[in-house]
Amino acid sequence: METALVDLPTGAYSITIGGGVRDRIAPFVKKLSGVDRCVIITDHTVSGLHLPALTSALSIPHFVAIVPDGEDSKSLTQAAQVYDRLAAERVERSDLIIALGGGVVGDLAGFVAGTWMRGIRFIQVPTTIEAAVDASVGGKTGVNHPRGKNLIGVFYQPSAVFIDTDLLATLPDRDFRAGLAESIKHGLIRDPALLTWHEQNAARILSRDADALTHLIAANCRIKAEVVVADERESGLRAILNHGHTIGHAIEHALAHELRHGECVGLGMIAENHIAAGRGWPIAGDVQRIIDGLAALGLPTRLPRQIEADDIYALCLQDKKVAGGQIRFQLLEAVGRPVSASDVTADEIGGAVAAIAPVSSA
């Protein structure tokens, strides 16, 4: 078992990682002052797979709110249905929400927790790699608006995060691998040794070796915690976590969610590092290494089908981080040396899209 601490001035919380750590949830909840009841928010798939493992160890009154699987549950409509349930069950300020699931459940449940009665406590129990290494830590919660992802939300920190690596065993391979892109990203922006560790341990990671997963998740959570503590509300440093995401989100949109988020982030990282390499920055010497590292973890390194560079450029302009008409990229001068760039040109984006073109059109 490993732990990490998110040591925010407004209140620190712990992240506990390892096999069987779900059994630590009940004792933790009992120690939180005044919690009489828990509300577990989860989705259909996760409830079928993991709800009994959680509830059998939870010797506290609780009820379960199950939402449909998938991104569509990150909506105000779904949040309203959960609020209706909380109202029907007379959920009070002292009750605690447990988010059991991947990023969608965590973002929705965190948003509901942050807004119900102006905020009730919640804990995150992520069941995907993506949520374990990224979304469950740092307090970004919210739902989507038809005009864009995550447009409605609050920064609202959990009281604790429990990452039970046993719960990752049921993840389909493709989802498991997709989440690893965020882990590579953390190594690239902040921890060159973590990047090397991925390269040296790809087989152990892919075989879901318990020690390797615990190490990987703990290393990621520590990086995430450090960045969030330095800049909780993304007014500066936290923006580096968007490395690979500007082009990644554009790809996600252009392909209408044909690829997983992490797969798009992986492609976005290759493309964005191609831009940085084209500027003559030292990262040029590592671009092939990044491609190889993603490939070794079974992530795509080329688009599955052609997307026009103009379309990617137009989609980048719709990114939430556009300010004053300028797209703000988080590039890397070198591994571990991120830099913000608002002067990336349409031509550079064209070259970057060409670098990840499908093999047939490369």
Give residues in contact with ligand GLY (CB under 6 A): 134, 138, 140, 234, 238, 241
DSSP labels, 288-339 = HHHHHHHHHTT--SS-SS---HHHHHHHHHTSTT-BTTB--EEEEEETTEEE
Which residue's CB is nearer to ligand GLY, number 320 or number 337?
A: 320
Q: Tell me the C-alpha distance between 78 and 31, whole Å.
A: 31
242 is known as an active-site residue:
yes
For 357, the token pair is 């073109």
Task: Give least dist CB 224 to ligand GLY, A.
Answer: 7
Q: Which 3 state secondary structure label does DSSP give 75?
A: coil
Among the listed residues 177, 198, 224, 328, the single catalytic one is 224
89 is known as an active-site residue:
no
261 is known as an active-site residue:
yes
Task: Give least dist CB 175 to ligand GLY, A.
Answer: 17
Which residue's CB is nearer to ligand GLY, number 7 or number 89?
A: 7
Beta-bridge partners for 17: 2, 163
Identify the burial level of 43 via C-beta atoms within 10 angstroms of its C-beta, where 0-12 means exposed, 13-18 middle and 19 or more buried. buried
Which residue's CB is nearer to ligand GLY, number 172 or number 236?
A: 236
Among the listed residues 50, 85, 186, 238, the single catalytic one is 238
308 is known as an active-site residue:
no
Task: Give least dist CB 159 to ligand GLY, A.
Answer: 18
Which residue's CB is nearer to ligand GLY, number 103 or number 300?
A: 103
CA angle, 222 then 164 then 268, to 5°? 55
- In the complex, which residue's CB is closest to ligand GLY? 241
Q: Tell me the C-alpha distance between 300 and 295, whole Å.
A: 6
245 is known as an active-site residue:
yes
Burial 108-122 (b: 16+ CB within 10 A, else e): bbbbbbbbbeeebbb
321 is known as an active-site residue:
no
Task: Give least dist CB 351 to ligand GLY, A.
Answer: 26
* Residue numbers annotated as active site: 118, 140, 182, 224, 234, 238, 242, 245, 249, 261
